[in-house]
Amino acid sequence: MASPNLNMRDPVMYRILHSEHHRTGNKWCIYPMYDYAHGQSDSIERVTHSMCTLEFEDHRLLYNWFIQQLGIFPSQQIEFDRLNLTYTLLSKRKLLQLVEEGHVSGWDDPRMPTLVGIRRRGYTPEAIRNFCGAIGVSRTNGVIELAMLEHFVREDLNKRAARVMAVLRPLKVVIDNYPENQVEEMEAVNNPEDSRAGTR
């Protein structure tokens, strides 16, 4: 009880809940708490490094203590800062509210900052990997500019996307000094970054 870490002061290992479980029915009424189950699950599955966001940093002492007391495979908990982007809502609770209230069509709505959402927006896996590689893993709270993510998307698409043009609202132009049956065609490259993309 004298520990400066509140998590170490008489930690709760499990709770008793007399409720039917979807798999075991009424056989058990004991449900392990997160701090008790976390290290054991990692140990059983032989997870060497358990990656958590910084809000679990003060739980690491308890994580290690349970593993030591049980004498099981010593998984190691490591904390890192969560990704924060400017102008972007990343709270799962708030994103769920947007879905449930019908403000977006679902988790794969292109406006959603989810993997399925940004995939529908045209972001490639390579662009996301390059972005993650550039920002790295940090232990300090920070906010990454959304423009940086968009830079990596543009950079990746610039290498692979075909160039096309369309005239959405054409204007009719009459040229009166050009031979009536003469046709001229011009060739344009599909991607100036990749000659293998051919021409059109």
Report pLDDT digits (tens) over 97-149.
999 999 999 999 999 999 999 999 999 999 999 999 999 888 888 899 999 99
Could you tell me if 85 and 47 lie in one domain? no
Domain-embedded: residue 19: yes
Could you tell me if 76 and 1 lie in one domain? yes
Domain-embedded: residue 40: yes
Give the HSE-up count for residue 13: Cα atoms under 13 Å, Cβ half-sphere. 7
- Identify the CATH number of the domain in which residue 157 sits: 1.10.1160.10
What does the pLDDT read at residue 21?
87
Q: What b-and-e string marks burial along 40-63, b requiring 16 or more CB atoms within 10 Å of the CB?
A: bebbeeeeeebebeeebeebbebb
Could you tell me if 156 and 104 lie in one domain? yes
What does the pLDDT read at residue 193?
80
Domain-embedded: residue 173: no
Could you tell me if 102 and 76 lie in one domain? no
Domain-embedded: residue 116: yes
Domain-embedded: residue 26: yes
Domain finish residue from 23, 55, 80: 80
Could you tell me if 26 and 91 lie in one domain? no
End-to-end CA distance of the chain: give it in Å, rounded. Answer: 75
Could you tell me if 54 and 76 lie in one domain? yes
What does the pLDDT read at residue 190?
85
Task: Print pLDDT tens along the chain (200 aa).
Answer: 788 888 888 999 999 999 888 888 988 899 999 999 999 999 999 999 999 988 889 999 999 999 999 999 999 999 998 889 999 999 999 999 999 999 999 999 999 999 999 999 999 999 999 999 999 888 888 899 999 999 999 999 988 888 888 899 999 998 889 888 898 898 888 888 888 888 88
Range of the domain at 53: 1-80
Total number of domains in the chain:
2
Q: Which two tokens stand for residue 195?
A: 């000659």
Which percentage of the chain shows pLDDT scores above 70? Answer: 100
Could you tell me if 70 and 89 lie in one domain? no
Burial label for 98, CB within 10 Å (0-12, 13-18, 19+), is middle
